[in-house]
Structure 1
């Protein structure tokens, strides 16, 4: 693994039609600037997960930066990527917290689920590195993969209301009318920024809309700054311990809700490898196993220490596409900056001061966008919904996930995400098997999934 980079050109600019390859870099001053740009690109999305779930923002930022550095090491410094918080974890985290004492949520319960997914991801990475990814495509064709990703996002829809006006139990003093107004301002700002601006600003519409909503909320008195004033400028990240499943066997029952997240992370990592390969005109598929392993290791560490699970980020792919700079040196800079920022409790306090109205405006768009990532998988792979096998493999799981059906067997609880995932896989393969027995031909396209993106 090379930890040195060849200077691109004169180190000051990128010539027209040229690109800065992963093994190249511009001058260190410009490289630091590009690294800071990647931090800005990932910042808003990464912090939305702890903001919504109650996880520590500083711990999340710490493991995000550390995970990025480990990703670069494990992939041999050949695959540029930033590992930020995965939105796919939001729904199972909320389910895990709800399964405990609502008055005193135990974040360690959710961390156990994150840790378990990291272990499974690492195992998948090793298997893919040895045997390839064909078995994943056979188990999860596009119609199934898209349905699972979509239902994870749409399963969160019922939670938007509390984000919009505030949960009366936790925010009894919030003016619901004023909170709704701020939520509308926030979503309007997101939509306007998306339409009126291009490039990096347009891609950051959600975080910039959040900033606009936060300013309006502060002016109208909805923001409580007491925590920000009391927080220190410097201090250790706020870590918390993972739950012990041997001391609390009920933790094993949380796993069915988390397991479908693996499918989303696989899709995002495979999509990231393919996207980068296409942009630099290289076949990067050989790095897929390493990418999955790296994301798994990063998620394991986050689970142990109280950070949210990680994934590759579409926002940072957008930055690379806009700047034509694919240097891994910039990502080393971004990872180091993220780790350094995590040692400021003041940063975490500012994140936690975001009021419900602003959060509502953000999540009403965000949760829908998570669901639409699944729909995009269908579109990109030209899934033919005139075929009954595709219709039912998508329709039934979506309803199960959105309605959030649940089934308890002993101490194990299967929520809407778990049941919807099981339904998607079983319905597809049973119908496909029966069709083959009758002599019918079932056409299946190879998955070409895309990295997680919120643009």
Structure 2
């Protein structure tokens, strides 16, 4: 491929994918099919990407613009080797809401820029030295705890919107649940988007939607750009987000590697650097922080098409769509009840994703270090403990994330020095056998010389 990753080979005849084959990142189908798949990627990311700015009060069209630009930037930096769409990250919702209360939207944007810069630095280090140190710093028990507490920390925000229009919220949530199991293929994967649309129609019937700003908006125009302000007080809010973004990106690269049969470990640092750069760019212009999207992995798994050409189409289409102020204002009219219903599902899903990390990695909770790490971190995050030092305020997400890291590595160091923890960290049979042998060796009497 070229340095930009834009020279694709035609896959076979370009009209189909034979059983057992996939369209690799450096291949493409015919352009009509590629354009169709690219637009499908936009639809897949649509619901989740727009919910973040709606929930945080940010301009939806601006977020869409930077998600498209960020995707194109990601493809360039990774040289077209990692097919991915960069949509709004849910990990930014809590810190953006918290920072807005004290510093307004400009202050929140400053936090987004700082998080992006930190992620870019991590990416540069990973590209230079490899990702092994990340796995040691953030083993599955720590990563799962941080992801889980970010979602569960947002539970009060979901309830607040739900209570404003319970009927609409309940219908929205019910439709999301039913659609996810009622339909197959792409429609089933877009259950949140379908639920939001149905909930929106219900809200219209109930008179809960205000179209005043939509009527006054033009069809074509620039997105609403805003500049950031930098405050030291937001650092504690946004640092934990970087840990989540690292986990999401590394997981995305590994998923694509598994599905395509290509080893992409050598480009994982570039993926982190690219996401960091895209997030910084969004923060400087008024958009939400970005991350690689699991929704689009679902589209690739369903179509067997991993061509980055489709993502170029998706990124360009998103940018074009963002130049309609009327469309942006229409998205912004989504009422509280619809948001409450969708957020109940979304925030819960984030929490359960943390548990999924534990399950997939067979984390052993008979190990007291694992149990303590998760227990303390989750309570701090869910209850939203806060700690203020001068102008710097740390909320439940920051403190919970710090607790997970400090408790895990602190207890592990003490246990190693004292030899007090015999239980393995995972339930992998090999680990269990190894731990049993070590425990038996410690119990055996030492021979006198």
Fold equivalence (TM over 0.5): yes
CA shift for structure 1 position 3: 1.8
Does structure 2 retain, via aligned residues, the 8 Å contact 1:141–1:445?
no
Q: In the comparison of the two structures, how many residue pairs are matched?
A: 423
- CA RMSD in angstroms comes to 1.2
TM-score, normalised via structure 1 length: 0.91
CA shift for structure 1 position 400: 0.5
Residue number in structure 1 paired with 2:212: 226
CA distance in 2, matches of 1:399, 1:95: 18
CA distance in 1, matches of 2:293, 2:51: 14
Does structure 2 retain, via aligned residues, the 8 Å contact 1:8–1:24?
yes
Does structure 2 retain, via aligned residues, the 8 Å contact 1:129–1:290?
yes
Does structure 2 retain, via aligned residues, the 8 Å contact 1:436–1:442?
no
CA distance in 1, matches of 2:84, 2:318: 14
Does structure 1 retain, via aligned residues, the 8 Å contact 2:367–2:424?
no
CA distance in 1, matches of 2:251, 2:203: 37
Q: How does 1:44-443 map to 2 (within 5 A)?
A: 44-100=47-103, 106-166=104-164, 179-243=165-229, 245=230, 251-440=231-420, 441=422, 443=424
TM-score, normalised via structure 2 length: 0.92
- Structure 2 unaligned residues grouped into runs of 5+: 428-449
CA shift for structure 1 position 219: 1.6
CA distance in 2, matches of 1:423, 1:78: 36
Q: Which secondary structure state, in structure 1, belongs to the residue aligned with residue 87 of structure 2?
A: strand
CA distance in 1, matches of 2:413, 2:83: 40
Q: Which secondary structure state, in structure 2, belongs to the residue aligned with residue 192 of structure 1?
A: helix
CA distance in 1, matches of 2:362, 2:186: 29
Residue number in structure 1 paired with 2:443: none
Task: String of CA shifts for 1:395-432, please: whole Å, max 9, x gaps.
Answer: 00100011001010111101111111111111111111
CA shift for structure 1 position 355: 0.9
Matched, 1:12 2:15: yes
Comparing both structures, which one devotes a greater share of its residues to helix?
Answer: 2
CA shift for structure 1 position 200: 1.2
Q: Which secondary structure state, in structure 1, belongs to the residue aligned with residue 291 of structure 2?
A: strand
CA shift for structure 1 position 254: 1.0
CA shift for structure 1 position 195: 1.2
- Structure 1 unaligned residues grouped into runs of 5+: 101-105, 167-178, 246-250, 447-455
CA distance in 2, matches of 1:399, 1:162: 20
CA distance in 2, matches of 1:139, 1:18: 37
CA shift for structure 1 position 165: 3.0
Q: Which secondary structure state, in structure 1, belongs to the residue aligned with residue 287 of structure 2?
A: coil
Matched, 1:39 2:42: yes
